[in-house]
Structure 1
Amino acid sequence: MVEPLSTTRGVLFRGSGSATPSRSISNAELGQRVQTSDEWIRSRTGIAARRVVNSDESLAELSGLAAERALEMAGWSADSIDLILLATSTPDDLFGSAPRLQARLGATNAAAFDLTAACSGFLFAVVTAAQYLRSGAMRRILVVGADQLSRWVNWDDRRSCVLFGDAAGAVVMEASENGQDDLDGFLLRSDGSRGEVLQLPQVSQRKPLVGDASHQCGGFDPIQMNGQEVYKFAVREVPAILEKLLAQHGVAADSLDWLLLHQANQRILDAVADRFSVPTKKVLSNLAHYGNTSAATIPVMLDEAVRSGSIQPGHRIASSGFGAGLSWGAALFRWSGPA
């Protein structure tokens, strides 16, 4: 661990990376499994295809590739990282997958732990990282958002199986000592009283242990979702939290360069953009190609926009993550890129 910084100011976004499985499954292919069609899926979600991890791939591999690409963009060595935050709800190991990512990267000086907040996970992890950097406790942090939801989808339920896919995305963040700060502000929210509308619950089966004692069997049921309630939640809460954040910082919606939302449903993206009169050309979307990849959607979209040249240094971005928990949040930030 390096010596603490002498300042408590500033975080910078220095690099991004992403990785997706090689196998893409189209809507037409999915229609061979369940009673659905390309038109039915597209009209309701905007999704045309999704990526699913093959037998020779893994979440750990995707996370590692995304992280390596982010480090490469920043020009950093893995041993310069102080902390790794892995935002995931589908770890390879329930005890935590971040330490394995740390070992894979050779980030010998980094502490590593998982953070679980489902589709809000990446945004929550970025805000968490910023606190370590601003406090002076750490200089460089790797944040990865990665999920393999294909493990937990009921592939015979056409209401939910059409939505989800697998991916990993990453950013690297650095403390700033010169007063520059890419993260203008954030707001985070949770409401556990509504959590049952989108959940991945434990199995309820119990077996005899000794005497009159029993034990609960390990494992989880498939994803359970009330689509109508999730939609209503998103189109109500996401504009509200973004509006409050922009007002707090005196930022007009028309001054934003980009709107970067969790990629869950194109109708949600359109509804939020409508609320703020943000033109379509400023709304980042790759949902059609990947579906909902939970904690990975925002960093994957960010990385693609950076690498395509759409996002340039200094661009101001309003972002929101939302989903299971229920949890949601918003962040207002700029992109610096490599030093």
Structure 2
Amino acid sequence: MRELVSVDHAGVGLITSPPPGRRAAVVAGVAGHVPEQALANSDLESRFDTSDEWIRSRTGIRRRHLAGPDEATSDLAVAAGVKALKAAGSKDSPDLVILATSTPDHPCPATAPAVAARLGLGGVAAFDIGAVCSGFVYGLAVANGVIAGGAASTVLLIGADVFSTILNPADRSTNAVFGDGAGAMVLRAGNSAAPGAIHAIDLGSDGNLTDLITVRGGGSRFPERDGEDRWFAMQGQAVYRHAVRRMTESSRKALAATGWEPEQVDRFVAHQANARILATVGTELGIPPDRVYSNVEMVGNTVAASIPLALADAHADGSLAAGDRVLLTAFGGGATWGSVTLSWPRLA
């Protein structure tokens, strides 16, 4: 595995890969949390001109979970954080809390400090990352950099979103796809050759694609948030094309920087956008279908929570084993994308 750090101003992105023996972030625990309320496809039939078969054939989704009227993003994030810290054994208290979310409790301030306080972590550093569905991958890059640089020894990284609060109640397509949830991971300082270590990271973005995935109102450009501007909007077909292309390209770069061939990947965990995208990217990479992990059928697209929720489920059901070579990838609004390679540790 070679050291590679490059920035291409034409938009190729940033790739990092530490050589063996260097300090790196190592996965110490992972957990997920979804709200109690589950919404099956059949529950949507009374609201829209749709059917269970129509939704499943296009997305692979059977159900999703929705936050209750008194549940905010911070509530889900705290629940996932508690579980992840317990799973990691709480050996060391985190020095930093990173929350990847596009649905913060408030436009201002950030939600991460409140999550850290509710977790009893005192005055630790805490901040939000807003990269939509790529947020957790971006968070892994930040956590790894902070740990590798010696600024922190333990980081709690959480991906959480309550997208049900920004979906247009009249939009069949988005209500069928998105669900609420949170996933969390504890990362500790270790050796880059150790089981559980983050290997290579590739990140990229293209601001020319900003309009693909938006909530138009509520920011400094369009402060008013009423009418259609208050709702999430997505150009579905264009998102599909760009997601497949960027996740495939990014995955190849991360694999190359790690020194892995696609057939050496034991478990491919992509952002759980929908079943079609997952299958297409896996095929483009040449990864066998039985190595492509998916939980989208039962939770839908949970945005920044997607990858950690999938990892937690895969670990819980035995789909991830110690020593597995794992490839993560995501595409989100911005547009943003990224991929990470890591070896899976032996976890409780």
Per the TM superposition, whether the score is higher than 0.5 is yes
State how 1:146-225 maps to structure 2 within 5 Å: 146-176=160-190, 180=194, 182-202=197-217, 216-217=223-224, 221-225=230-234
Query: Shift of residue 114 of structure 1?
Result: 0.8
Name the structure 2 match of 1:83.
96
The residue identity in structure 2 corresponding to 1:322 is F
Asked if structure 1 preserves the Cα contact closer than 8 Å seen for 2:94 and 2:121, the reply is yes
Distance in 2 of aligned mates of 1:233 and 1:319: 17
Query: Shift of residue 85 of structure 1?
Result: 0.1
Residues 57-106 of structure 1, C-alpha deviations (whole Å, 9 max, x = no match): 332221111111111111116x7110000000101122111111111110
Residues 211-265 of structure 1, C-alpha deviations (whole Å, 9 max, x = no match): xxxx943565201111000011112221111122212332111111100000001
Unaligned runs of 5+ in 1: 1-6, 207-214
1:40 aligns with 2:49: no
Name the structure 2 match of 1:307.
316
Residues 138-158 of structure 1, C-alpha deviations (whole Å, 9 max, x = no match): 100000000000000012111
Query: Shift of residue 299 of structure 1?
Result: 0.2
Q: 1:73 to 1:337 in 2, by over 3 A?
A: farther
Name the structure 2 match of 1:330.
339
State how 1:198-277 maps to structure 2 within 5 Å: 198-202=213-217, 216-217=223-224, 221-277=230-286
Unaligned runs of 5+ in 2: 1-20
SS of equivalent residue, structure 1 residue 284:
coil
1:118 aligns with 2:125: no
Structure 1 stretch 295-304 or stretch 229-238: which is displaced more? Answer: 229-238
Residues 129-188 of structure 1, C-alpha deviations (whole Å, 9 max, x = no match): 000100011100000000000000012111222111100000000011585371110110
Structure 1 stretch 217-226 or stretch 180-189: which is displaced more? Answer: 217-226
SS of equivalent residue, structure 1 residue 47:
coil
Distance in 1 of aligned mates of 2:245 and 2:98: 29
Structure showing greater radius of gyration is 1
The residue identity in structure 2 corresponding to 1:197 is L
Asked if structure 2 preserves the Cα contact closer than 8 Å seen for 1:13 and 1:337, the reply is no
TM-score (norm 2): 0.88
Asked if structure 2 preserves the Cα contact closer than 8 Å seen for 1:258 and 1:283, the reply is yes
1:49 aligns with 2:49: no
Query: Shift of residue 119 of structure 1?
Result: 0.3
Name the structure 2 match of 1:4.
none
Name the structure 1 match of 2:295.
286
> Displaced runs of 4+ in structure 1, greater than 6 A?
none
SS of equivalent residue, structure 1 residue 108:
coil
Distance in 1 of aligned mates of 2:142 and 2:238: 28
Distance in 1 of aligned mates of 2:155 and 2:270: 22
Asked if structure 1 preserves the Cα contact closer than 8 Å seen for 2:97 and 2:155, the reply is yes
Asked if structure 1 preserves the Cα contact closer than 8 Å seen for 2:217 and 2:223, the reply is no
Q: 1:170 to 1:156 in 2, by over 3 A?
A: same
Asked if structure 2 preserves the Cα contact closer than 8 Å seen for 1:8 and 1:135, the reply is no
Asked if structure 2 preserves the Cα contact closer than 8 Å seen for 1:87 and 1:122, the reply is yes
State how 1:54-133 maps to structure 2 within 5 Å: 54-76=68-90, 80-94=93-107, 95-133=109-147
